């Protein structure tokens, strides 16, 4: 539970700084500091067990079917990284309180920082790789917010986008690699995966998994060729830069390689990819850092170089090299955080970070100079500081690589160390020595709020350098043991005798001093020499992708419905054909039924109507009539196949649909304009024919084969009476077994009707749309004759009560016999539709007593309350019940609560259909007002 709390604390406390800001900036900073401090204290309580060699585990089931558990683990590796994340996080929070300007939203800053801290803590404590991936993506998102915190700066916005694009792309690769790794190991828990080294490395999927995982790690840790994003993240405030570069973000990729080191390392592929990438990053980053004039840019590229050094050590694949990597992770976090915070002090107090404008600061800022000297000399590897210890141990390990020429790797590593000495001397000597420069602000040491955090870090640099075994060996041993899976007892000392590593270290110091002395000439050559600009290449690539995506999007989404449909049908048909071609085929075991004359005639009529609808599609009225014929034939087919409920529903829906579509056709030309060219028609015929044949073949294959598993219809038929109290399985499915689905459908139906009403109201309201509607009516020829024939008026009024009685009958019998609320609602709607058609809108509106909006609302409300009523008996929503009721003088009869739900369906269907009809009718009347010649001709009700 403690581990989960440590990971959750930053997320739980992220809202505190924003709330506490109302109490003052100190209160906001204190709340953020306390959250990190509490997590650090809880971590310290777990440290003794970890240092004894134990692994603290905590796990809860989350989605076990997917292999996702809320699993946390704390071993030596997690202790090292979590300690750095929380410990340096506290110092950064303290520093940021005095660094940020009054105009900066401090509460927002600390909220983003805690979210980022929580994501990083979750990564290093996760015991499930799927959970790790969740936290991994959260680091990309939260770092985007931090890097772009100064959103008013273009460089900040671009740096944030670049970091998100690169690390987000690597995160996608990592997801694929982790999923493969989990499939190989048979588990997504790290506790299991870390025991499957032989199984993983012998799998044919080892190399794809390795490459994908390393892509994720390299992009996050800014390894070549993805190193370019990290320096551009320097547009963030200095506290963010210090945190990113020392303890978080870029160390996530390093942590991932260390965490999976037991199962991925040791192979030639691991060595060449990881060591080669790390070495290249170390050299490239160090060389670029040497030529930077901006203090933060110099430190950023130096971070790239040191991350390459650690990656190279992990790539060597030996426990000793992995141990040195753990030691350098600790050392780099201390001196690099101190250096970034020092650079922030220089910028804050002088107004510039440009080395060309700095100089002589050791006299004006002696305290800042002392901190910078300790940290930069440690970065250079000068004894007796901690950087010297891990650098010399690194050089020693390169002598035992075991791959390639024995001299090559040590020589290149020495060359990289040489450059690190040179850029460290530039940072210190060009910034703090020489003649005092004229800076925008008069330089002076800051208050304790700014120098306390880097001073503490500089003290750790000295402490670890002088007393490595007492102050750091125990933590390095624990981290290295967890990384390598073997017990490690490292021996850290300043003097190992006259060794080759000592000679290499001295050569690096001397060579770095020579490079520094030659820096003006080398800088001139560097500025004059052509070289690739990673940022420009990235921007060009992004712009090229954006242009290509725009062209593709414009070509594929040009507003043509036929093209979009053609692409979709072609894709689906091609995918189905590929699946068909790749499978085995055998004849079905179920015999076909004999074809009698009646269904054959019906099929022939159906095909003829469908063909005529396609051929006569340009004549909208004829095509609508053909669609109506198709619906009627389908109704007959349902009745023939013993599905009377479907037949009733189909025929009523068809009548309502045809009438409403006839009203809609009033606003359209009689004929569809000819738009398709001959090639397009050939394309459409080919695609539709292929898709039709495919669907026919699939239907034939399904109908001639026995189902692979019992259909759910058997359950519905068996439970219709005992479970829902009805013998009509179709109705019980609609209002009981799948009542929640029906509830959602009537809500959607009501929303659609209300949207149509709102659209028509916008056309009826005074304005441009109303004037266009009047112009549309004026352009149509005037009608002559009787618009409301008396015979039709009398017939519809005579049939109305009979239709209502039939609807009530259908509604009441629906639970046991064909019928139900949906069909009854449509029958009533048809009866009222006929009144509108026969007597006109005005006559019917004067006799309308209930608003159709109210019917929709009442229907949804009745259905919802019926479902909620089950809660009174402690049952789930929409659980129905039934029983027998005796009302004198009637006999006992069965009644189910589902009938009340069905009443809600009835009201919603009736209200929706009538609202759509009323809306279209009012629209048609407004359009017809400009051509009406007499009051009677306008509307029968208005003329009386």
Share of the chain above pLDDT 70, in %: 94
Q: Domain ends where: 502, 520, 546?
A: 546
Contact 113, 77 (CB under 8 A): no
Q: What is the average per-residue pLDDT within 31-38?
A: 93
Q: Domain ends where: 230, 259, 288?
A: 259
Residues 224 and 322 in one domain: no
179 or 524: which carries more pLDDT confidence? 179
Q: What is the average per-residue pLDDT within 373-402?
A: 89
690-736 pLDDT tens trace: 998 888 888 888 888 887 778 888 888 888 888 888 888 888 888 88
Residue 448 forms part of a structural domain: yes
Share of the chain above pLDDT 90, in %: 34
User: 744: exposed, middle or buried (C-beta count within 10 Å: 0-12, 13-18, 19+)?
Assistant: exposed
Please state, in angstroms and rounded to a whole number, the distance separating the CA atoms of residues 408 and 187.
40
Contact 171, 216 (CB under 8 A): yes
Backbone angles phi, psi at 128, to 5 degrees: -125, 130
Max distance between CA atoms of the chain, in angstroms, equals: 120
246-295 pLDDT tens trace: 878 888 999 999 999 999 998 889 999 999 999 999 999 999 999 988 89
Contact 183, 203 (CB under 8 A): no
Residues 218 and 273 in one domain: no
What's the pLDDT at 789? 75
Please state, in angstroms and rounded to a whole number, the distance separating the CA atoms of residues 147 and 165.
13
pLDDT band at 739; cut points 50, 70, 90? confident
Contact 368, 332 (CB under 8 A): no
Please state, in angstroms and rounded to a whole number, the distance separating the CA atoms of residues 776 and 24.
65
Q: Which of 336-350, 815-829, 836-850 has the lowest mean pLDDT?
A: 836-850
Please state, in angstroms and rounded to a whole number, the distance separating the CA atoms of residues 818 and 734.
12
Its sign, for the CA torsion 483, 484, 488, 494, is negative
Q: What is the average per-residue pLDDT within 841-858?
A: 82
Our CA angle for 230, 235, 239, nearest 5°, is 90
Residues 242 and 273 in one domain: no
Other beta carbons less than 10 A from residue 930's beta carbon = 15
Tokens of 789: 């024939």
What's the pLDDT at 217? 93
What's the pLDDT at 935? 38
Residue 696 forms part of a structural domain: no
66-109 pLDDT tens trace: 777 888 999 999 999 999 999 999 999 999 999 988 888 888 99
The SS3 assignment for 879 reads coil
Residues 249 and 284 in one domain: no
Tokens of 34: 């306390």
Residue burial 520-543, b: 16+ Cβ < 10 Å; e: rest: eebeeeeeeeeeeebeeebeeeee
What's the pLDDT at 502? 87
Cross-strand partners of 72:
58, 126
The DSSP code sequence of 191-258 is HHHTT-HHHHHHSTTHHHHHHHHHHHHHHHTT-TTSTTHHHHGGGS-HHHHHHHHHTSTHHHHHHHHH
Residue 737 forms part of a structural domain: no
Write down how long the chain is.
944
The tally of domains found in the chain comes to 3
928 or 175: which carries more pLDDT confidence? 175
Contact 82, 482 (CB under 8 A): no
Residue 106 forms part of a structural domain: yes
Residues 217 and 291 in one domain: no
| DSSP code at position 354 | B
Q: What is the average per-residue pLDDT within 904-908?
A: 93
Residue 933 reports pLDDT greater than 50: no
Please state, in angstroms and rounded to a whole number, the distance separating the CA atoms of residues 928 and 938.
7
Residue 518 reports pLDDT greater than 80: yes
Q: What is the mean pLDDT of the chain?
A: 86
Residue 599 forms part of a structural domain: no
Residues 109 and 144 in one domain: yes
What's the pLDDT at 925? 67
What's the pLDDT at 770? 57
Its sign, for the CA torsion 10, 15, 16, 21, is positive
What's the pLDDT at 642? 85
pLDDT band at 890; cut points 50, 70, 90? low
The SS3 assignment for 122 reads helix
pLDDT band at 461; cut points 50, 70, 90? very high
Please state, in angstroms and rounded to a whole number, the distance separating the CA atoms of residues 425 and 241.
21
pLDDT band at 538; cut points 50, 70, 90? confident
Q: Which of 310-324, 552-566, 736-750 has the lowest mean pLDDT?
A: 552-566
What's the pLDDT at 766? 64
Tokens of 612: 């005529």
pLDDT band at 520; cut points 50, 70, 90? confident
406-451 pLDDT tens trace: 788 899 999 999 999 999 999 999 888 888 878 888 888 888 988 9
Please state, in angstroms and rounded to a whole number, the distance separating the CA atoms of residues 42 and 898.
55
What's the pLDDT at 891? 67
Residue 393 reports pLDDT greater than 60: yes
Tokens of 428: 């210190």
Q: What is the average per-residue pLDDT within 118-123?
A: 93
Please state, in angstroms and rounded to a whole number, the distance separating the CA atoms of residues 283 and 348.
31
Please state, in angstroms and rounded to a whole number, the distance separating the CA atoms of residues 519 and 506.
20
284-323 pLDDT tens trace: 999 999 998 889 889 999 999 999 999 999 999 899 999 9
Please state, in angstroms and rounded to a whole number, the distance separating the CA atoms of residues 784 and 613.
30
C-alpha 766 chain-centroid distance: 44
Residue 209 forms part of a structural domain: yes
Q: Which of 148-162, 567-581, 665-679 has the lowest mean pLDDT?
A: 665-679
375 or 764: which carries more pLDDT confidence? 375
What's the pLDDT at 786? 53
Backbone angles phi, psi at 17, to 5 degrees: -60, -40
The conformational region for residue 492 under phi > 0 = left, psi -120 to 50 = alpha, else beta, is beta
Q: What is the average per-residue pLDDT within 671-693?
A: 83
User: 661: exposed, middle or buried (C-beta count within 10 Å: 0-12, 13-18, 19+)?
Assistant: middle
Domain that holds residue 886: 744-944
Contact 662, 840 (CB under 8 A): no
What's the pLDDT at 270? 92
Residue 53 reports pLDDT greater than 90: no
Q: Using alpha carbons only, how large is the chain's radius of gyration in Å?
A: 39
107 or 784: which carries more pLDDT confidence? 107
Residues 189 and 278 in one domain: no
Residues 352 and 208 in one domain: no
- Taking the model in full, what pTM does it have? 0.70
Contact 284, 254 (CB under 8 A): no
Start-end of H helices in 317-436: 319-350, 361-364, 366-380, 386-398, 408-425, 431-432
3-state secondary structure 607-628: HHHHHHHHHCCCEHHHHHHHHH
What's the pLDDT at 862? 92
Tokens of 820: 């139900």
What's the pLDDT at 932? 42
| Most trustworthy range by pLDDT among 403-407, 440-444, 580-584, 668-672 | 440-444
Residues 773 and 913 in one domain: yes
Please state, in angstroms and rounded to a whole number, the distance separating the CA atoms of residues 457 and 912.
71
Residue 944 reports pLDDT greater than 60: no
* Residue pointed to by tokens 């009438």: 659
| DSSP code at position 58 | E
Residues 420 and 328 in one domain: yes
Residue 174 reports pLDDT greater than 60: yes
Tokens of 795: 């017939």
Residue 456 reports pLDDT greater than 90: yes
544 or 932: which carries more pLDDT confidence? 544
pLDDT band at 939; cut points 50, 70, 90? very low
Other beta carbons less than 10 A from residue 60's beta carbon = 10
204-235 pLDDT tens trace: 999 999 999 999 999 999 898 888 888 888 88
Q: Domain ends where: 521, 546, 571?
A: 546
CA dist 574 → 534, 566, 700 (Å): 41, 12, 19
* Neighbouring residues of 563: CB distance < 8 A, sequence distance ≥ 6: 556
Residue 396 reports pLDDT greater than 70: yes
Its sign, for the CA torsion 668, 670, 675, 681, is positive
Residue 817 forms part of a structural domain: yes
Tokens of 754: 């209300």
937 or 575: which carries more pLDDT confidence? 575
Residue 333 reports pLDDT greater than 90: yes
Please state, in angstroms and rounded to a whole number, the distance separating the CA atoms of residues 876 and 314.
56
Residues 200 and 333 in one domain: no
Residues 283 and 161 in one domain: no
Residue 765 reports pLDDT greater than 70: no
Residue 738 forms part of a structural domain: no
């Amino acid at each position: 539970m403690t581990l989960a709390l440590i990971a959750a604390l930053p997320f739980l406390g992220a809202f505190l700084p924003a709330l506490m800001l109302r109490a003052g900036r100190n209160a906001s900073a204190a709340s953020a500091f306390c959250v990190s401090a509490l997590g650090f204290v809880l971590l310290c309580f777990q440290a003794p067990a970890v240092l004894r060699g134990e692994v603290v585990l905590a796990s809860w089931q989350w989605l076990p079917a997917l292999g996702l558990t809320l699993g946390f683990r704390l071993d030596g590796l997690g202790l090292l990284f979590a300690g750095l994340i929380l410990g340096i996080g506290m110092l950064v929070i303290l520093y940021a309180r005095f660094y940020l300007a009054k105009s900066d939203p401090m509460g927002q800053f600390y909220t983003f920082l805690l979210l980022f801290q929580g994501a990083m803590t979750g990564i290093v404590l996760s015991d499930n790789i799927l959970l790790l991936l969740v936290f991994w993506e959260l680091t990309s998102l939260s770092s985007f917010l931090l890097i772009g915190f100064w959103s008013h700066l273009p460089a900040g916005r671009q740096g944030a986008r670049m970091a998100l694009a690169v690390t987000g792309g690597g995160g996608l690769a990592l997801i694929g690699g982790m999923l493969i790794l989990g499939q190989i190991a048979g588990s997504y828990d790290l506790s299991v995966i870390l025991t499957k080294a032989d199984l993983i490395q012998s799998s044919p999927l080892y190399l794809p998994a390795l490459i994908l995982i390393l892509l994720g790690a390299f992009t996050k840790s800014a390894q070549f060729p993805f190193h370019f994003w990290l320096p551009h993240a320097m547009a963030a405030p200095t506290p963010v830069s210090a945190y990113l570069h020392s303890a978080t973000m870029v160390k996530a990729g390093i942590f991932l390689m260390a965490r999976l080191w037991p199962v991925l390392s040791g192979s030639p592929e691991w060595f060449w990819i990881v060591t080669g990438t790390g070495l290249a990053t170390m050299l490239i980053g160090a060389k670029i850092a040497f030529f930077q004039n901006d203090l933060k840019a110099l430190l950023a590229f130096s971070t790239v170089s040191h991350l390459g050094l650690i990656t190279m050590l992990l790539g060597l694949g030996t426990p000793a090299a992995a141990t040195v990597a753990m030691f350098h992770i600790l050392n780099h976090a201390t001196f690099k955080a101190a250096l970034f915070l020092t650079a922030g002090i220089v910028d804050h107090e002088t107004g510039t970070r440009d080395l060309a404008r700095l100089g002589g600061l050791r006299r004006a800022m002696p305290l800042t100079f002392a901190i910078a000297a300790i940290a930069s000399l440690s970065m250079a590897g000068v004894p007796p500081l901690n950087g010297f210890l891990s650098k010399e141990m690194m050089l020693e390990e390169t002598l035992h690589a075991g791959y390639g020429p024995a001299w090559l790797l040590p020589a290149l590593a020495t060359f990289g160390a040489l450059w690190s000495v040179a850029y460290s001397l530039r940072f210190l000597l060009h910034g703090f020595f020489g003649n005092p420069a004229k800076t925008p602000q008069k330089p002076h040491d800051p208050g304790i709020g700014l120098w306390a955090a880097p001073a503490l870090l500089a003290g750790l640099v000295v402490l670890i350098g002088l007393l490595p075994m007492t102050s750091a060996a125990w933590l390095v041993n624990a981290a290295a043991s967890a990384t390598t899976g073997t017990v490690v007892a490292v021996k850290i000392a300043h003097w190992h005798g006259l060794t080759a590593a000592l000679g290499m270290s001295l050569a690096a110091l001397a060579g770095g001093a020579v490079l520094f002395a030659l820096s003006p000439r080398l800088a001139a050559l560097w500025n004059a020499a052509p070289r690739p600009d990673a940022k420009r290449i990235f921007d060009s690539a992004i712009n090229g992708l954006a242009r290509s995506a725009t062209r593709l999007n414009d070509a594929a989404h040009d507003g043509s419905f036929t093209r979009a449909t053609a692409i979709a049908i072609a894709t689906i048909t091609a995918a189905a054909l590929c699946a068909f071609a790749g499978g085995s085929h055998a004849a079905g075991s179920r015999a076909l039924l004999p074809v009698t004359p009646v269904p054959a005639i019906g099929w022939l009529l159906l095909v003829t109507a469908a063909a005529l609808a396609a051929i006569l599609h340009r004549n909208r009225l004829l095509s609508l009539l053909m669609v109506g014929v198709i619906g009627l034939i389908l109704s007959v087919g349902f009745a023939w196949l013993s599905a009377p409920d479907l037949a009733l529903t189909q025929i009523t829906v068809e009548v309502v649909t045809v009438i409403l579509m006839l009203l809609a056709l009033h606003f359209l030309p009689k004929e569809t304009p000819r738009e398709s060219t001959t090639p397009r028609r050939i394309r459409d015929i080919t695609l539709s024919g292929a898709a039709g044949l495919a669907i026919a073949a699939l239907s034939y294959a399904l109908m001639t084969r026995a189902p692979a598993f019992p259909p759910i219809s058997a359950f519905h038929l068996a439970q219709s009476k005992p479970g829902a109290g009805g013998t009509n399985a179709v109705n019980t499915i609609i209002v009981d077994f799948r009542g929640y689905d029906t509830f959602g459908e009537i809500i959607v139906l009501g929303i659609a009707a209300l949207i149509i009403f709102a659209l028509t109201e916008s056309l009826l309201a005074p304005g441009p749309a109303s004037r266009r509607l009047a112009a549309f009516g004026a352009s149509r020829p005037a009608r002559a004759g009787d618009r409301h024939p008396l015979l039709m008026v009398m017939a519809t009024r005579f049939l109305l009560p009979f239709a209502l009685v039939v609807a009530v009958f259908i509604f009441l019998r629906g639970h046991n016999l064909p019928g139900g609320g949906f069909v009854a609602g449509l029958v009533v709607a048809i009866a009222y539709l006929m009144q509108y058609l026969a007597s006109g809108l005005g006559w019917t509106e004067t006799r309308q007593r209930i608003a159709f909006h109210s019917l929709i609302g009442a229907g949804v409300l009745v259905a919802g309350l019926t479902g909620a009523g089950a809660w009174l008996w402690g049952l789930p929503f929409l659980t129905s019940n039934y029983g027998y009721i005796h009302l004198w003088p009637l006999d006992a009869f069965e009644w189910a609560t589902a009938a009340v739900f069905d009443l809600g369906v009835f009201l919603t269907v009736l209200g929706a259909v009538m609202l759509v009809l009323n809306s279209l009718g009012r629209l048609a009347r407004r359009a017809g007002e400009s051509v009406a010649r007499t009051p009677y001709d306008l509307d029968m009700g208005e003329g009386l």
